[in-house]
A and B are shown apart, each in its own frame.
Chain A
Amino acid sequence: MSANEAVIRFEEVSKSFGSKRILQDVSFDIARGSAFCILGRSGTGKSVTLKLMIGLLKPEQGRIFVEDQEITALHARELPPVRKTMGFLFQNAALFDSLSVGENVAFPLRRHTNKPEADIKDRAREKLAQVGLEHEYDMMPADLSGGMRKRAGLARALALNPSILLVDEPSAGLDPMTSAEIDSLLLNLKSERDTTLVVVTHNIPSARRIGDELVVMHEGHFIAHGTAKELDQSDHPVVREFMKSEGGG
């Protein structure tokens, strides 16, 4: 397993909704164990790109690979094994509102492991503790704040110890302290478990902290792709605007 081995690869991927082009002939690789940050204005297609990676959306053109599997060629029935190795945090957290917070985190464990009940609950509590929700196991998602829901969604995405973690704006709606804690959790996953991270964020300081590679999406293309330092040198006005901003969210 070489350090530069691509875990996720897009080959000339195009995606549109109706006449609206979201991605146009986009190609890139994400190396194993690296953190890939996707930046871009609201509505440029960051969430769509993330959903393409896990097969929730299909591109009209191009191929997408995850761990050498061409997921764009897989039948719906063949996707679950690939997805078991991936964790996905939705922008709106998408917690199951009929289950308690703890049961949301326990859900994938109940489905995909044969662990005894006590172990499942322990693991769910452990994951909740990692995001600072150790006391919220029995609460219902509707009774949580937006930021807490987000963190619970992250705990659920982490439940199966995925080797690839896709997170859509993990620090949106969080205070600077909690946001920094989430960043260090993500960095820990990367350094200790060699987890590949794909992070959509509006938070430039956070992208600088976690991202090995940053891309800026604009009108269907990646108008910049490189390290934070490289992007700082960019002469594209949109990229400069982005890298200058210290905006949170």
Chain B
Amino acid sequence: MSEELLEVKNLKTSFRIGEEHYAAVDDVTLTLNKNEVLGIVGESGSGKSAFAFSLMGLHNRAKIEGNINFKGENIANTAPGKLNKLRGDDMAMIFQDPLTALNPLMEVGDQIAETLILHRSDMSQKDRKARVIELLNMVGIPYPEHVYGQFPHELSGGMRQRVVIAIAIANKPELLIADEPTTALDVTIQAQILDLIRNLKNDMNSGIILITHDLGVIAEMADRVAVMYAGQIVEVSDVHTLFENPLHPYTRSLLNSVPNAEGGQDKLHVIQGIVPSLKKLPREGCRFASRIPWVDASAHEENPVMHEIAPGHFVRCTCHSQFYFPDESKEVQSNGVSGS
């Protein structure tokens, strides 16, 4: 059963800086089914949050081009009034930074209750309070009756993160976008939160977009993975294929940078450098070219597009076919498993 929940087509989100527009999200095409977790990975600054905000219509002054079809309707550039019916109810988002995501002057219980007030107006005050306590319990907050009346500054970062999560899941959204939902949490709580998200998926048939740096979380949670670089998706596939047979040089580098079993970082075959800032992004050609200068320029496409290498496995540009890590030839002999 794979019923489509969300279809994003050629999404482009640009910000105006000075006189010009710069695209933080460019040519993103994706689908998400019900009861599916789509992981999005990518370095800091690759546009993951900008993409999530675009889906929720939360950008203040951005130019949005392309289509966002949610439950069969294009919601890109719709009027806020219409969007407000969906936001917090059918679609919800867990924000990356729990320290600033809560109103400092409002009791946290009331902040959760607000989502219910907005979409469950028939709920009595008593039921609402009970539901908030239930949610606080679900996200693993001890003494929920007490925490209900506390202000954000009285809670630790991890506790605030859980309140942010409680707000997002309050109305059992069909689409949940979780932007680094577990970064502020320790391992046990992290497992608890991931369980919670999984339950939401199973119970409600929800589709989840899970943004994370943590490939361990991806391996555990995601059904499919999209790798994002400089505002573009560079590779999409199901999670097994991605780990078994990564194609794009960026994906391969990301996978190699996972800490190994000894706790250290395997520095082999990791491409150095960072995502260029918005203004410095190349406007044409392969955006990853500047980070792999040793690969012949002719390997790149002039206008890189997504190629379907195998059913459901897409990769951008043609450079992957000629790509090698600078010291790969030696490594292949000593290691025997590098690359593909």
A, B assembled together: no
